[in-house]
Structure 1
Amino acid sequence: MKAFVVSWQFWALLSASFAALTAIFAKIGVANVNSDFATFIRTIVILVVLGAILAATRQFQSFTTISGRTYLFLILSGMATGGSWICYFRALKLGDAARVAPIDKLSVVLVAVFGVVFLREQLSLPNWLGVSLIAAGAVLVAYKG
């Protein structure tokens, strides 16, 4: 069990679980507030919680130890995250969580494609089949018919 807790699979499953809860909690949370303001509140909570985790585990490091390239890509990642959150909360405000979340999870398909194109990662035929099934499944779950 200890080996599982330090595996990427464990953390990926936890991430998926928290993402599912995010959709449900956010759908309820945006009912009576502007979606952008809801995203702002969510961001403050994340900053406070993550700051507490870093302080409690003594994981803060000097900002001068980080390279310019690392800063560039972390800033770009932050901007992409912000864009994703803003769009996600707006979609939840307008649509059903059970339909919005699967479309949002098309990011899995895009990560596979971007990983191959930009990072030169290799996917096998079974991997591509899985990516295709994820795409088809997201569309089918989101379909309102």
Structure 2
Amino acid sequence: MNALPAEAFSERLPSKVEIANADQLRRILVGTLDEEGRTTLNLATEPGEIAQVTLTPAIAQTFLDVLRLIASGKGFRVIPVNAQLTTQEAADLLNVSRPFLIKLLEEGAIPFTKANRHRRVSAEALLAYKAERDARRAQALSDMAAFDAEEGLL
């Protein structure tokens, strides 16, 4: 049997075995969620010993999100909210070009700091900008759909 890669999923895509494992675990986890989104798992810690762990809804949902990414064959990175990102990392997270991100920074749309010549963007500020941008986009789509309905274009 081939050894499975140990590199993080930010450096590679999941293997077929990892995809299957993640999908199996995702289905098990979904089946154990209560109506509030919590789950209690029984884990074998040593032969004959069982530890019971209750996951809060936020932790359970986070695990499900990660398992869905792996099961879909996608790589991902975990970024702490207090992380300082390079402009390339920030651009990648927003799915925009680095020059476009720098334009946003220079216009004041996203706060940043400078370390010597290098700009650094806090993940918290970037995620706040992304949430605001996504809300504006959703509202614009909603407005367009409402206009189309009013004009009988649907």
Structure 1 length-normalised TM = 0.29
Q: Larger helix proportion, structure 1 or 2?
A: 1
Q: Larger strand proportion, structure 1 or 2?
A: 2
Structure 2 length-normalised TM = 0.28
